[in-house]
Amino acid sequence: MIGYLTNEQFLPELKAELKNIRATYGGLVLTDGPLQTSVWAQNIWLNPEIISFESVSQAGKALKERGKLWAVYSTDQHRRAQLIQDQLLKVKPRVMNFLGPLPDMPIGAWTLIDKNTLIASSETNSLFPLGEVRFNEDKKNPPSRAYLKLWELFTVYGIKPKPGERVVDFGSCPGGWTWVLQQVGCHVVSIDRAPLEPHIAALPRVEFKKTNAFNVKPEDIGAIDWFFSDIICYPEKLLELVQTWQSSGLCRNFVCTIKFQGKTDFETLRKFQDLPNSHVQHLYHNKHEVTVWIRTSSP
């Protein structure tokens, strides 16, 4: 049995991608069989077990026997769940600094499914409570909160360009991603029909081109190390743009946000997943969108 936890807003997407579903509790989906690839799971419970108990203290003892640190996912019986959680070692907030070290202690997850039954997994796929990645945010410099998607990708997943590399940022206005890329030492070709915020455009190593991303040909830009895109467009249009740049041979590393207009476009999502060396994930800081990255050059 494996558990997959998501924000309940994306529960239909999670259930659509999983097989052998056994039960659902809030945003937690339990499946039979081996671990499955999941785009929409925020936290995967790797060894969940069903535990019966008679009292709060007995539940606390059962959890302590199985692990040191626990995060509770509460969907019902909230007061009772909190009383059990209070029996456990208090978890300090895991608030990250950008590119700071990751937590060094694993954390389990559990939930009450009725008054005398809980599901607990001492092992999950995240070092953050319930997969919730939080940062000490910069509330002064970035012009939007979109920068947090790159902060999460660079810090938690280790997917980031090197200082001195030349990158393109499509759909850059108002400049959140351009700001992050400039901060890590990249030379940024920033492209959008709308202008950057003035304090972003004035940063060193930022070259702004006011144009439509879909009118730009790879040869207009030349060789780049990374292709970044946070464009608001239909997924199939983004796929065409990525494939055009792949075919050009002028770029081999890609990071894109696939934004869904209305219903989730599962067909195009699968096409992105089928691209060689691609990985698709709904990051904690994604909305109704997912992030895809494609690495075809050595780190």
- CA 252 to CA 238: how far, in whole Å? 16
Which CATH number covers residue 206? 3.40.50.150
Judged against a pLDDT cut of 90, whether residue 93 lies above it is answered with no
Quote the number of domains for the chain.
2
- CA 198 to CA 207: how far, in whole Å? 12
Tens digit of pLDDT for each residue in 124-158? 999 999 999 999 999 999 999 999 999 999 999 99
Residue span of the structural domain in which 113 resides: 2-131
Tens digit of pLDDT for each residue in 166-205? 999 999 999 999 999 999 999 999 999 999 999 999 999 9
Average pLDDT rounded to a whole number, residues 67-86: 95
Q: Compute how many other C-beta atoms are within 10 angstroms of the C-beta atom of residue 10.
A: 21
Tens digit of pLDDT for each residue in 4-55? 999 999 999 999 999 999 999 999 999 998 999 999 999 999 999 999 999 9
* 142 plus 125 within the same structural domain: no
**Which pLDDT value is given to residue 297?**
63
* 64 plus 19 within the same structural domain: yes
Extract the runs of DSSP E, i.e. beta strands, from the chain: 2-5, 21-25, 28-31, 43-45, 49-52, 70-72, 95-96, 108-114, 117-121, 134-135, 166-170, 187-192, 206-210, 226-229, 253-259, 278-281, 289-295
* 179 sits in which H/E element: helix 176-183
* 151 plus 290 within the same structural domain: yes
Q: Which amino acid, one-letter code, is at 127?
A: L
- CA 101 to CA 203: how far, in whole Å? 27
For the entire predicted model, the pTM comes to: 0.94
- CA 217 to CA 135: how far, in whole Å? 36
- CA 106 to CA 299: how far, in whole Å? 26
- Of 83, 90, 73, nearest to 27 (Cα)? 73
Of 64-68, 88-92, 170-174, the poorest mean pLDDT is in 88-92
Q: Which amino acid, one-letter code, is at 174?
A: P
Tens digit of pLDDT for each residue in 251-285? 989 999 999 988 999 999 999 999 999 999 999 99
* 236 plus 165 within the same structural domain: yes
* 157 plus 273 within the same structural domain: yes
* 50 plus 144 within the same structural domain: no
The total number of residues shown for the chain amounts to: 299
* 127 plus 186 within the same structural domain: no
Judged against a pLDDT cut of 70, whether residue 74 lies above it is answered with yes
Average pLDDT rounded to a whole number, residues 220-235: 96
**Which pLDDT value is given to residue 293?**
98
* 43 plus 121 within the same structural domain: yes
Q: How far is CA 51 from the centre of its chain?
A: 30
* 96 plus 200 within the same structural domain: no
Spell 231-266 as b/e; 16+ CB within 10 A means b.
bebbbeebbebbeebbeeebbbbbbbbbbbeeebbe
* 44 plus 83 within the same structural domain: yes
Judged against a pLDDT cut of 80, whether residue 298 lies above it is answered with no
* 60 plus 159 within the same structural domain: no
Confidence of residue 299 (pLDDT cuts 50, 70, 90): very low
* 82 plus 154 within the same structural domain: no
Q: Which amino acid, one-letter code, is at 150?
A: L
